[in-house]
Structure 1
């Protein structure tokens, strides 16, 4: 009887260890276990409604990206507003922004009429995010999102974003090879996360089927995002004014939102 009890206790301990091991294998901070996790995630995505063909097209060959993990652990807006804004709202960016306001005057006008977001605000976001489309980012979106979805820090958030990225492909909005952007998975001229892409993306005429790799659609979608987060047409956007909270919804770092407002102020000047 004692031997049975010992064996039973050992079996319980082994089962408990197996549960812990399975849980540990569900996330990690290195390439170890990533391929096994990705194989299981593919089945989760299929159960969530993504076709097997899309899953294979987007995720086959995806590898763990150590650079993405390193970025995620070193991010932050620790600089003062004066330092941060001086580095980003540069005279060169202001000069180019004024040129872009003229070059895209017609779509900017359409967008403001529909959403109430002035062109200088949209141009400021565009300039800060990608230098007016000059740098959309070089990270393969599915590799970046899969790496962050495997990371234990914010796995659930990024697993949802990874499924949304797959849905972008399934809806025919973009092909996997087109989806390259920032290390955190943002894509397009103004850097939308996949969930925001699906929710707020509109073409310049206000309809669906938007391609956020193109400036006009990205700017319209950015205006749609801001309007969806409480933007009040005709109101101010500087800190303390009615529309500053909408800028914080775009980027929750106050130093970044204040820099958007500053750059928009500069672009609005004659």
Structure 2
């Protein structure tokens, strides 16, 4: 969901939170001092200092994350090129199989949120191959590194606060938060801020788990789309209101078009 959205972080980033005093840097210099400042400012973010200190205790600056951040390039593939690169018949068939396996849950989710199974399956498949790989990098380390880095410090500070909020409300432990290099979490790659706003405990086990719980993953993705204005019972092709909602999921037009076409094929249209 989020690697293209993050490319727009400069325009979307929230300004520094009240009382934010930690100084950014374009190198590893001062990272430990930055951590101490962040811990001291925890209450202004609604965080408990002891939670933040424990989560950041063994976190180090990651040159790998900075290299990946600097290595991003503008997305220039056509829809046809992107679709061919990312989607094939096996993925469509797998989506249909997953639809059958999780038919009961998907039916309940559509009844509650109005988002049909093919859309959720297309997003799930495109983001992580139906949970096959959602990334294995430590989310808090990635977000702390990018928050300390001056290039988009405000945006990633907001995401780091959200990740620590996930820990504070006991949805996930710090060591469980592993994902993509820029901090995307779970089987449909939520940013931490979206996790906090839209994740739901659909399996009712007392935690919102977008890494291991398929019911939580699918329902949270549906909740996100519903909150963005998804219209139940309507189509999702170009020109529709629901297509515009899909643009809230990802800013790249080829990505949105791919979700739309994948969903049609998974649904047998």
Tell me whether the two structures share a fold, i.e. TM-score over 0.5.
yes
Judge conservation of contact 1:111–1:204 (CA < 8 Å) in 2. Answer: no
Tell me by how many angstroms 1:203 deviates. Answer: 2.5
Corresponding position: 1:217 with 2:216: yes
2:25 aligned to which of 23, 28, 32: 28
* Alignment match, 2:36: 39
Corresponding position: 1:58 with 2:55: yes
* Alignment match, 2:190: 192
* Alignment match, 1:179: 177
Query: Greater RCO between the two (CA within 8 Å, min separation 6)?
Result: 2
Paired with 2:204 and 2:70, the residues of 1 have a C-alpha distance of 38
Tell me by how many angstroms 1:190 deviates. Answer: 0.8
Tell me by how many angstroms 1:206 deviates. Answer: 8.7
Tell me by how many angstroms 1:127 deviates. Answer: 0.7
TM-score by length of 2: 0.86
Corresponding position: 1:228 with 2:224: no
Paired with 1:56 and 1:134, the residues of 2 have a C-alpha distance of 32
Tell me by how many angstroms 1:255 deviates. Answer: 1.2
Tell me by how many angstroms 1:72 deviates. Answer: 1.9
Tell me by how many angstroms 1:32 deviates. Answer: 2.0
Alignment of 1:86-105 (within 5 A): 86-105=84-103
Alignment of 1:113-152 (within 5 A): 113-152=111-150
Paired with 1:70 and 1:57, the residues of 2 have a C-alpha distance of 27
Tell me by how many angstroms 1:86 deviates. Answer: 0.9
Paired with 1:33 and 1:156, the residues of 2 have a C-alpha distance of 17
* Alignment match, 2:248: 249
What secondary structure is seen at the aligned counterpart in 1 of 2:69? helix
Structure 1: gaps of 5 or more residues: 1-24
User: Over aligned residues, Cα RMSD in angstroms?
Assistant: 1.8
* Alignment match, 1:7: none
Paired with 2:66 and 2:245, the residues of 1 have a C-alpha distance of 29
Task: Give 1 or 2 for the bigger CA radius of gyration.
Answer: 1
Which 4+ residue blocks in structure 1 deviate beyond 3 angstroms? Answer: 205-209
* Alignment match, 1:239: 238
Structure 2: gaps of 5 or more residues: 1-21
Which moved further from structure 2: 205-214 or 49-58?
205-214
Structure with greater helix share of residues:
1
Which moved further from structure 2: 109-118 or 40-49?
40-49
Paired with 1:162 and 1:77, the residues of 2 have a C-alpha distance of 26
Tell me by how many angstroms 1:142 deviates. Answer: 0.4
Alignment of 1:158-169 (within 5 A): 158-169=156-167
Judge conservation of contact 2:203–2:215 (CA < 8 Å) in 1. Answer: no
What secondary structure is seen at the aligned counterpart in 2 of 1:174? coil
What secondary structure is seen at the aligned counterpart in 2 of 1:107? helix
* Alignment match, 2:19: none
Tell me by how many angstroms 1:70 deviates. Answer: 2.1
Change (3 A) 1:207 1:116: farther
What secondary structure is seen at the aligned counterpart in 2 of 1:252? coil
